[in-house]
């Protein structure tokens, strides 16, 4: 039995126990990443470049290298979202960061369990100039995120964010 728990695994079980069984117990794995996962990876590369002090053009180049496996619409969406992100947030918050550790993996024994482990990745962990340690989590969504949307309520209870 696979004894490693991740947010993705727990979400799969809560969504569909059969999906969980085939993916995590039988270990039937898709050959390719889904379009949404490839999009999320592109966004993570863009954010890493931004946190490392790079401007929009360099962050976009990091997000969408020449061999990127995204359709043209998704590439345009990444470029537009990134432009909006730079316009809205600028680079001021990136300048507050003294050091950034993108894609930090963790793996530890589940407290109170002799069997299960918790495993995952944090989008970024950083230390600010004043010494505080900050955890960054970036989310992308194709859903409505307007003020009347239930997205924000669900995000508060998202296992990965928690």
Distances (CA, A) of 126 to 33, 37, 42, 60, 66: 28, 24, 20, 22, 29
pLDDT along the chain (162 residues), means of 10: 83 90 87 82 88 89 89 93 89 70 88 90 84 83 86 80 70
Q: Quick one: pLDDT at residue 125? A: 86
* pTM, two decimal places: 0.71
Residue 105's DSSP bridge partners are 121
pLDDT, position 50: 86
Cα torsion angle, 87, 92, 95, 100, sign: negative
Tens digits of per-residue pLDDT, 5-44? 888 888 889 889 999 999 888 988 877 778 888 898 899 8
- C-alpha of 71 from chain center: 20
What pLDDT shows up at residue 1?
56
Q: 142-145 contacts: CB < 8 A, separation 24 or more?
A: 142/36
Q: What was the pLDDT predicted at 56?
A: 93
């Amino acid at each position: 039995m696979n004894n490693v728990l991740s947010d993705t695994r727990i979400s799969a079980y809560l969504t569909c126990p059969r999906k969980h069984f085939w993916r995590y117990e039988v270990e039937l794995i898709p050959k390719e990443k889904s379009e949404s996962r490839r999009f999320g990876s592109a966004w993570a590369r863009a954010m890493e470049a931004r946190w490392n002090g790079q401007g929009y053009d360099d962050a976009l180049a990091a997000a969408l290298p020449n061999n990127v496996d995204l359709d043209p619409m998704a590439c345009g969406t990444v470029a537009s979202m990134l432009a909006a992100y730079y316009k809205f947030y600028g680079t001021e918050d990136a300048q507050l960061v003294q050091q950034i550790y993108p894609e930090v993996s963790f793996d530890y024994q589940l407290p109170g369990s002799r069997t299960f482990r918790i495993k995952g990745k944090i989008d970024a962990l950083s230390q600010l100039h004043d010494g505080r340690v900050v955890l960054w989590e970036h989310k992308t969504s194709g859903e409505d995120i307007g003020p009347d949307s239930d997205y924000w309520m669900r995000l508060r209870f998202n296992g990965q964010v928690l």
